[in-house]
Amino acid sequence: MTHVLLVEDDPMLGTNLKLNLELEGFQVEWAQSLKAAFEINEQRAFQLALLDLGLPDGNGLDFCRRVRADGSRLPMIILTAQSDEDSVVEGLGAGADDYVKKPFSNKELVARIRSALRSPQVREEQIRVGNMLVLLEQRRVMVEGEEVPLNRREFDLLKILIARPGVVVTREAVIQQLGESAEQIFDRTVDSHISHIRAKLKKAKECNVRIKSEYGVGYRIVVLD
């Protein structure tokens, strides 16, 4: 199922778009403000975003810029109110992939969505936890546009932990998933990798993701309030 983030403050248009896209088989989360868009986007990973520009608390382009600054390749399609050349050019400059001029037909929008989803750069899988974005293919971890430099082992470890945020992953499970036949991994090694990741996450500006130790059991990824 393709998860679409719809950012649109017009209640009638938003309701219609959500309904029609759901009929086309998309799962739609609807944000009616810029603030809501940021919040919803932090809670889950989307495959595409549809962005209205004129929002009550700001411009949809700010969403676009921030997402790109995070290193995300999330496809974004701008819904422009007028045939305003400037906002289209600005939108594409801010990292949007495409735009649709209002009024548009559902058929046209769905065609644009499918086309944006087909483009090769969007195939990369990413996981978002709190304000941390993990780009699985690029093996990069971004926090608010800043990269957290992890080595190979640290990245693998973090990837195992973030697969199930909030859930305790036992040390045995970590060791098993990290396991490479040639290499014997001891508890101490895992602990030392964890402490390195912790230090790096703490150093990253405003990172709200922490690795908690559950004594004698394992580790848990938590997002601070």
* Chain residues that interact with Ca ion, rule: CB under 5 A: 9, 52, 54
For Ca ion, give the closer residue by CB, 81 or 89.
Answer: 81
Task: Note the residue count of the chain.
Answer: 225
Give the angle subtended at the CA of 198 by the CAs of 138 and 150, to the nearest 5°: 25
For Ca ion, give the closer residue by CB, 9 or 154.
Answer: 9
Residue type, 68: R
Residue 95 φ/ψ region, left for φ over 0, alpha for ψ in the -120 to 50 degree band, beta for the rest? left
Question: Closest separation between CB of residue 29 and Ca ion, Å?
Answer: 17
In contact, 98 and 77? CB cutoff 8 Å: yes
For Ca ion, give the closer residue by CB, 52 or 97.
Answer: 52
Element spanning 152, H or E? helix 152-162
For Ca ion, give the closer residue by CB, 21 or 142.
Answer: 21
For Ca ion, give the closer residue by CB, 91 or 218.
Answer: 91
The DSSP code for 42 is: H
In contact, 60 and 87? CB cutoff 8 Å: no
Question: Closest separation between CB of residue 81 and Ca ion, Å?
Answer: 6
Question: Closest separation between CB of residue 9 and Ca ion, Å?
Answer: 5
The candidate with the shortest Cα–Cα distance to 40, out of 69, 49, 207, is 49
Question: Closest separation between CB of residue 72 and Ca ion, Å?
Answer: 23
Residue type, 102: K
Q: Give me the residue whose beta carbon is nearest to Ca ion.
A: 54
Question: Closest separation between CB of residue 36 and Ca ion, Å?
Answer: 13
In contact, 76 and 51? CB cutoff 8 Å: yes
Question: Closest separation between CB of residue 100 and Ca ion, Å?
Answer: 14
